[in-house]
Structure 1
Amino acid sequence: MRANSLHTLDLAHVVHQQTDLDAHQREGAVLISRGDGVHVWDTEGNKYIEAMAGLWCASLGFSEKRLADAAYKQLLQLPYYHTFFQKGHEPSVRLAEKLAALAPGDLNHVMFQCSGSEANDAAIKVIWYYNNLIGRPQKKKLIGRIRGYHGNTVAAASVSGQPHMHADFDLPFGGRFFHLSNPNYYRAHEPGETEEQFSARMAAELEALIEREGADTIAAMFAEPVQGGGGAITPPRGYFEAIQPILKKNDIMLVADEVICGFGRTGNLWGTETYGLEPDILTCAKQLSASYQPISATIISDRIFAALIEGSRKNGSFGHGFTYGSHPVACAVALETLAIYEERDILGHVRKVSPAFLSGLEKFRDHPLVGDVRGVGLIAGVEVMADKATRTPFEPSRKAGLVVQQACQDAGLIVRAIGDRIAFTPPLIMTEADIAAMCDAFGKGLDAAWAQLRSDMAHAAE
């Protein structure tokens, strides 16, 4: 096992996010000290392939000098300014213009924040504000999906469907949040049920919810094109084709959470494009700046923006904003990131290497631990099963996913266990040689995890 990098100051003072804090206090942290391309090194000198791009986000890897130079140049010229009180700065104007040109449909107006959580939180506020302004104060309920992930603020965590993010936080908040089933076809389909039939069942669940709560009370549905925090779950065939007409029929907005999928992850600029979504609001972050600076965007339609103008006439101003939203350094880095995507044809590169990525992982379907493999572009999830013939999962106490995650780390590969589903979202610059090395390390990790899990089960049976 690779040694953990223990750091007393870290143990004493840093409250680690989305972490088992009890285990962290006992075992310490792996402290990452540097990165280069698709690799990172810890403070003990161990080298890893970073197959999660950090948190789904370091799209250009860990050593893109152009982004560092863009930040430095902007820091020298204008290190900070805001967009409050009719003030602004050129980087935010240029970035908003660029995003409006790239966004689908009539999504032409951009609000900047620092994180995907804030982007989705802002979307929720705007939806509620919009419905008040157009005389529909009762239309406020929001729909998410079980295992959906939209952030960590009170509202974004509420529309998310992550049980561990609700437990003991008094969430979901305020009685306005409802959740549909997780559209994980592999885990949840009935015997003999096709993907299209499964999608029709998911759509019927949505219709039943609308019938029960009343269409005049439901404002919007939030959906990731591919569920990231749910385990890199791609939608089953026909899913959004069945869902969207129901939303439109009942005048319920669709918010496309592109925080993970946006800017090439699925092989198109937007996951919205990959799956034919027509959103009223689109949120993005992470790969907007390749995560070299914290920035996110909430992109709204002409119709919604017109209501915001009316709201300012009514209320005197648009009473929303963040000190560091539209930060000029973050905007400058995001602009340079988008320029790099275009100049290097990152979309073309993703499409070129995606077959090697997906087929490389598909080969593990024959492994005794692997029940299912699904993905698109450069995002995929591998389902770990105790008995794949019957789709029987491991007992939660086995923590099989974490066993695989640790075994992969010991083999020099960083992946993420989400329950017993192993997620892969490598940097978009991943080469076919990098993918081959990733798959080789994953195979070693799976074999080691399978040996450990068999041994544990044998001892438990004695």
Structure 2
Amino acid sequence: MSITPNSVEARDIAYHMHPAVNLRKFEEKGGLVIESGDGVYVYDNTGKRYIEGLAGLWSVAVGFGEKRLVEAAAAQLQKLPYYHSFNYKTNGPSVDLAELLISIAPVPMSKVHFTSSGSEANDLVAKMVWYRSNALGKPEKKKIIGRIKGYHGVTIAAGSITGIPANHTSFDLPLDRMVHTSCPSFPHFGEDGESEEAFTARMLKDLEDLIVKEGPETIAAFWGEPVMGAGGVLTPPKGYWEGVQVILKKYDILLVADEVICGFGRTGKMFACETYDIKPDVLVISKQLSSSYMPLSAIMMNDNFYQPIADESDKIGVFAHGFTASGHPVATAVGLENVKIIIERDLVGNAARLEKTFLDGLAKLAEHPLVDSSRGIGLIGALELTPWEQEGAGAAALAVAEAIQEEGCIIRNIGEAICFCPPLIITAEQIEEMFAIVLRALNKVAETR
């Protein structure tokens, strides 16, 4: 890409520090400037069109350019552009959205607390877990179990629960009260000759062994995504979540389900907790909550989790936590309208109905010589590429992802996988269009091998 002096690309390189890049490489090559969007498509500043095969960052459920969300934001900006939720104050959209979320929760929930990102929400839940243990007179019960390849954000506590080395290296993470158990991805970590059932049993044994080693009295909570997203779209093996919940109940350990990616229809149910029969104490949601039109996340908690925290705040005199933008009226107004659209247009049903088309398309692409296998559920999936051993880890996925972008589709490469998570409004025809682009890109890369 040639970069014209004083162009937006040149000014981006000069002034804008990007997340999730090699900063030196970015200084050399710059990035793609997306200028507009419509439905499942986005357009760069040259007018080139792309299918957004990752829904932005796993998040734009209702597609780009949804007028109802624009109108909801504009109306709220005119009425009350900002107010806080400190000191016994609130605003209408936050109350309305909290009520709606409680009504659609996959298990009975008691309260909703709003924040602005999944990282922020998971970080706060960790603080609340510790606060609750103190309230219960169990100051030693503070450790949190995450999973290798699990992703829960990049703030200090959430980044420590995350189990991805790149999010720890040189950041002095993880914190020492965070421990990690095995990654339950059968395609990646199953042993030769091991059945899926035997693999699940081994994963559960690893978890229980860790709990016993650390001391059950020291462990407060277990964090898990129903489907591991940023780890590479890793679906759980049969019996895994059922077994995890038995173990956590045995040792009185809280279950925090991170549905930042999975929530609001991605797996073909409103929540992936329904897909896998997970009954969490706390549910963390973001991304598709507002289709990322506004920064918004929420923590839903059951009464067992909430009541000790409320008691402790009464004892101390205050729950001394809060963010300026918690329950921001414009964000919650947009979130409220977004969830209404998901329900009214049956976008959850659309994901369920298109699951076969989507997964069959991935399976067909898995027949390509560059591809090892496919996986997924609902409208989230991945192709695992055959590694290019001599060129380093992830080289094949990076080359294919770049070729896919050149051909007119945006996806994400993670390790040896290329991952897909299109807007929930996508049609069967658009899925076929997306996979036709991917096939052209695979063929293009294959020609150079």
Query: TM-score of the superposition, structure 1-length normalised?
Result: 0.94
Distance change (3 Å), C-alpha of 1:101 and 1:2: farther
Residue number in structure 2 paired with 1:224: 225
Bigger mean CA offset, 217-226 vs 105-114: 105-114
Q: Any residues of structure 2 matched to 1:135-284 within 5 Å, and which? A: 135-173=137-175, 175-284=176-285
Q: Which runs of 4+ in 1 moved over 6 A?
A: 1-6
In 2, Cα distance between equivalents of 1:62 and 1:302: 37
1:117 correspondence with 2:119: yes
Q: Which amino acid aligns with 1:275?
A: Y
Contact 1:256–1:281 at 8 Å: present in 2 too?
A: yes
* Aligned residue among 38, 41, 44 for 2:40: 38
Q: Any residues of structure 2 matched to 1:324-339 within 5 Å, and which? A: 324-339=325-340
SS of the aligned residue for 1:171 comes to: coil
User: CA-to-partner distance for each residue in 1:47-69, whole Å, 9 max, x for gaps?
Assistant: 11100000000111111000000
1:435 correspondence with 2:431: yes
In 1, Cα distance between equivalents of 2:427 and 2:185: 29
* Aligned residue among 58, 62, 65 for 2:64: 62
Q: Which amino acid aligns with 1:145?
A: R
Query: TM-score of the superposition, structure 2-length normalised?
Result: 0.97
- Distance apart, 1:394 and its partner CA: 6.6
- Distance apart, 1:395 and its partner CA: 5.0
In 2, Cα distance between equivalents of 1:430 and 1:405: 20
Residue number in structure 2 paired with 1:10: 12
Q: Any residues of structure 2 matched to 1:299-378 within 5 Å, and which? A: 299-378=300-379
- Distance apart, 1:386 and its partner CA: 3.6
Identity %, equivalent residues: 48
Distance change (3 Å), C-alpha of 1:262 and 1:178: same
- Distance apart, 1:180 and its partner CA: 1.3
- Distance apart, 1:220 and its partner CA: 0.7
Q: Which amino acid aligns with 1:17?
A: P
* Aligned residue among 400, 406, 413 for 2:402: 406
SS of the aligned residue for 1:107 comes to: coil
Contact 1:112–1:325 at 8 Å: present in 2 too?
A: yes
1:130 correspondence with 2:132: yes
Unmatched tracts of structure 2, length 5 or more: none
SS of the aligned residue for 2:366 comes to: helix
User: CA-to-partner distance for each residue in 1:186-225, whole Å, 9 max, x for gaps?
Assistant: 1211112111111111101001101110000011111001
Distance change (3 Å), C-alpha of 1:299 and 1:187: same
In 1, Cα distance between equivalents of 2:47 and 2:279: 47
SS of the aligned residue for 2:100 comes to: helix
- Distance apart, 1:33 and its partner CA: 0.5
In 1, Cα distance between equivalents of 2:372 and 2:67: 41
Distance change (3 Å), C-alpha of 1:57 and 1:133: same
Contact 1:6–1:28 at 8 Å: present in 2 too?
A: no
Q: Which amino acid aligns with 2:318?
A: S
User: CA-to-partner distance for each residue in 1:13-39, whole Å, 9 max, x for gaps?
Assistant: 111111111211111110001101101
Contact 2:394–2:414 at 8 Å: present in 1 too?
A: no
SS of the aligned residue for 2:93 comes to: helix
In 2, Cα distance between equivalents of 1:436 and 1:105: 36
User: CA-to-partner distance for each residue in 1:303-346, whole Å, 9 max, x for gaps?
Assistant: 22211221122111111111001000111111111111111111
* Aligned residue among 399, 416, 420 for 1:420: 416
In 1, Cα distance between equivalents of 2:442 and 2:147: 30
- Distance apart, 1:450 and its partner CA: 2.5
In 1, Cα distance between equivalents of 2:348 and 2:108: 23
SS of the aligned residue for 1:243 comes to: helix
Q: Which amino acid aligns with 2:89?
A: K
In 2, Cα distance between equivalents of 1:285 and 1:81: 20
Bigger mean CA offset, 363-372 vs 118-127: 363-372
- Distance apart, 1:105 and its partner CA: 2.4
Distance change (3 Å), C-alpha of 1:394 and 1:239: farther
In 2, Cα distance between equivalents of 1:81 and 1:292: 19
Distance change (3 Å), C-alpha of 1:139 and 1:430: same
User: CA-to-partner distance for each residue in 1:338-396, whole Å, 9 max, x for gaps?
Assistant: 11111111111111112111111110221111111110000001101148xxxxx6752
Residue number in structure 2 paired with 1:459: none
Distance change (3 Å), C-alpha of 1:420 and 1:395: same
In 2, Cα distance between equivalents of 1:410 and 1:2: 15
- Distance apart, 1:183 and its partner CA: 1.6
Distance change (3 Å), C-alpha of 1:323 and 1:96: same
SS of the aligned residue for 1:366 comes to: coil
Unmatched tracts of structure 1, length 5 or more: 388-392, 455-462
Contact 1:121–1:155 at 8 Å: present in 2 too?
A: yes
Q: Which amino acid aligns with 2:119?
A: S
Distance change (3 Å), C-alpha of 1:199 and 1:397: closer
Contact 2:186–2:237 at 8 Å: present in 1 too?
A: yes
Paired residues, number: 447
